[in-house]
Structure 1
């Protein structure tokens, strides 16, 4: 399977790339900076140098799947939605060679089972959150948009409240509610997310929907 990973040098993307390679898939890093890709992924990494917002249907046609693992800074977090729209337009399911799209989303759109409210309300209450709340807010808009899309094959995956670099555990999957790991906390490592992404690509179980993954 040929898998394009947008943002392959970032926090989530690098682990998705490495997990795909580990499983013997044909992983390709779609990046703007080839030197940075060599530094993060190794000189032998397969790389396509192109701005994600300039990707066309022809660019995507050679992939079986494309993973959007890009993370934007708070001041440009609206680009999460912008990029989703761009990829959906470039990968219509009516095209025989269009890839499946995988979007790594945020936790703010999950429901807190203890309160029944969206987790973004818990995030707003974190001291200092005003400096970066635009990221989960825009990722919520991103999911709301994707839920209207029936013209492309897509799946979204949300981590838990804490999403940080770390080794893989056995993924625990859910739908739209926050999950807790064995330690009682809500967290997902980038390694666990990468395993969940590759599991879904190799054995598809979700279509045009979002699911969530937690550490064990």
Structure 2
């Protein structure tokens, strides 16, 4: 399996590359600067400069792009839209490192976590930016996409337990009433999905046990 990880030098990107390489996948790190990952292959380009030819031949492209500047939240939609356009009509699957703010808290799927009055104002711009990019992705039936949301508490330096709970569109907690997952366990779920291709045209979510 040939796998490209876009924005591979980021926190989640590096761990995704590490997990995929450990499983023997043929991994290319797509980065703007020097490759800081364990990938043996490097494609040095900005996301917005990538072409259809650049990504031809990959089985899966994982979009690990993230930005926290509240003045640049439109880049979530712009970059994901560009990747979708250049993968349109191809067999290549597009997996997206998503956010938790767009998970629904009701069965009717009318209210998201980020709509709640006690949602952190500091995280609201990012949540809205990522929600907008997800909404745009839902309209694409020309791309074989899967959007993977983490739990509400996404722990960068958390341990890799090797276990996770796979959920769907709704906010979910484990038996302890917790909604949290380490980057390492999230990465495990992401690479599992890359290998299986079980949730095309779906948003899924993962949380720790």
TM-score, scaled relative to structure 2: 0.90
The whole-number CA distance in structure 2 between the counterparts of 1:115 and 1:64 is 35
2:203 equivalent among 179, 202, 210: 210
What is the number of residues matched between the two proteins?
A: 205
Aligned twin of 2:125: 134
* Cα drift, residue 104 of structure 1: 1.1
- SS for the counterpart of 2:193 is helix
Where does residue 47 of structure 1 map in the other structure? 42
Gapped regions of structure 1 (runs ≥ 5): none
Residue aligning to 1:10: 10
Question: Which of 54, 63, 75 is the matching residue for 1:59?
Answer: 54
Tell me how far apart the structure 2 counterparts of residues 8 and 176 of structure 1 sit (CA, whole Å).
Answer: 26
**Distance in structure 1 (CA, Å) of the matches to 2:135 and 2:125:** 15
> Of 78, 83, 90, which residue of structure 1 is paired with 2:86?
90
SS of match in other structure, 1:12: helix
Out of 140, 147, 154, the position equivalent to 1:156 is 147
**3-state SS, counterpart of residue 67 of structure 1:** strand
Which of 101, 114, 119 matches 2:113? 119
1:101 paired to 2:94:
yes
Distance 2:185 2:195 in 1: 15
| Structure 2 unaligned blocks of 5 or more | none
What is the deviation of 1:207?
A: 1.1
| Aligned counterparts of 1:164 and 1:104: Cα–Cα separation in 2 | 14
Measured at CA, do residues 182 and 46 of structure 1 come closer, stay the same or move farther in structure 2, by a change above 3 Å? farther
Cα distance, 1:182 vs. partner?
Answer: 4.3
Q: Deviations over 1:60-113 (max 9, x none)?
A: 1031111001111232121111111101110012x4xx5210011111111125
Moved more, 164-173 or 191-200: 164-173
Match of 1:77 in 2: 73
CA root-mean-square deviation: 2.0
2 CA distance for matches of 1:194 and 1:201? Answer: 10
Residues in 2 aligned to 1:60 and 1:158: alpha-carbon distance in whole angstroms? 24
Partner SS for 2:11: coil
